[in-house]
């Protein structure tokens, strides 16, 4: 009999340097009004020099390791800013958390990486492959930012969020519902770091680039459709949704998707204004912030959706656990 995967804990961590819009404008020819109108972002966090993505991941996940009710079998890190191109960052994180010997791997799906990771680890728990898994989204986006690039410099921030998942007993209701996952690789350049991979190993542009208008249209379309499919598969109507937690890309995208889904502002959870777009860390940071706010109640229905480079999209549902 398959075992349900239960959400046992959430935690997040933001590095100490706070970058407000005035600091961004030191490198850009723009205005604070233009930044806030287009993105809704007022500040974001930046890692201190010499800080690696693994450092952020370890800080975010450490409280969950301390609170775990048994051995952790695997550590999965969703990131587009790994410590190194090789090896994966997850083994470094596992060792840093005192979990040497645990299975460890990365998910390189950028902004959708955490939800893709959820789909993988919940299936593995259900199948009996793993019993308790630490899933982390962590990004040091400042390491791949061109601060003079108007399309990206104001948007991205650093941070990490983590979730602890464990096997329940047969008959327990799983925390997460069905997943909707998809991709379109016909336009990989819409969000990309052009150089450094095998397609351009000698190129010089190692910063993230984004075609904003095209990304906006695709993100709104795909997150709306994917969220609807996940809700339908869970036998939820949008009216059932207590909280809408989307990848915190920017405020205009979040509002456009929520408006299309007919989810009122009071049921939209937003933290992009104070953390920016943290890519793979975005969804777990938002969930951790929702937990910290104590606004979600046991049994609340949470609709989760994300969109990112690839292009990829991913959605699922979450029934908020008691005592989280």
- Exactly one of 21, 109, 250, 277 is catalytic; name it: 277
What is the Cα–Cα distance from 47 to 32, expressed in whole angstroms? Answer: 22
Examine the residue annotation and report whether 27 is marked as an active-site residue of this protein: no
Examine the residue annotation and report whether 111 is marked as an active-site residue of this protein: yes
- Exactly one of 21, 45, 247, 250 is catalytic; name it: 247
Q: Name the residue among 319, 308, 323 with its Cα closest to residue 117.
A: 308
What is the Cα–Cα distance from 244 to 291, expressed in whole angstroms? Answer: 13
- Exactly one of 21, 45, 109, 111 is catalytic; name it: 111
Examine the residue annotation and report whether 109 is marked as an active-site residue of this protein: no
Catalytic residues: 111, 247, 277
């Amino acid at each position: 009999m398959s075992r349900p995967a239960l959400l046992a804990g959430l935690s997040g961590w933001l590095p100490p340097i706070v970058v407000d819009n005035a600091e961004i404008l030191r490198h850009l020819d723009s205005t604070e009004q233009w930044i806030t109108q287009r993105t809704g972002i007022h500040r974001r966090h930046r890692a201190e020099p010499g800080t690696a993505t693994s450092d952020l991941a370890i800080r975010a996940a450490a409280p969950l390791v301390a609170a775990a009710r048994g051995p952790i079998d695997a550590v999965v890190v969703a990131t587009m800013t790994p410590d190194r191109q090789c090896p994966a960052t997850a083994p470094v994180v596992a060792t840093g958390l005192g979990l040497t010997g645990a299975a460890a791997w990365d998910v390189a799906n950028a902004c959708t990486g955490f939800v893709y990771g959820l789909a993988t680890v919940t299936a593995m728990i259900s199948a009996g492959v793993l019993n308790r898994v630490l899933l982390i989204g962590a990004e040091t986006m400042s390491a791949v930012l061109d601060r003079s690039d108007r399309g990206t410099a104001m948007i991205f921030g650093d941070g990490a969020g983590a979730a602890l998942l464990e096997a329940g007993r047969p008959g327990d209701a799983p925390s997460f519902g069905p997943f909707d996952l998809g991709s379109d690789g016909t336009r990989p350049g819409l969000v990309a770091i052009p150089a450094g991979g095998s397609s351009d190993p000698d190129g010089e542009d190692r910063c993230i680039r984004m075609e904003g208008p095209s990304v906006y249209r695709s993100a709104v379309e795909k997150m709306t459709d994917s969220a609807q499919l996940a809700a339908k598969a869970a036998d939820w109507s949008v009216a059932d949704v207590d909280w809408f937690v989307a990848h915190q890309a920017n405020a205009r995208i979040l509002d456009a998707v929520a408006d299309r889904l007919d989810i009122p502002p009071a049921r939209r959870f937003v933290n992009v204004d104070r953390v920016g777009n943290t890519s793979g860390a975005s969804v777990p940071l938002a969930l951790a912030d929702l937990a910290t706010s104590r606004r979600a109640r046991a049994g609340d229905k949470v609709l989760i959706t994300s969109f990112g480079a690839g292009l990829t999209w991913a959605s699922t549902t979450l029934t908020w656990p008691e005592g989280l």
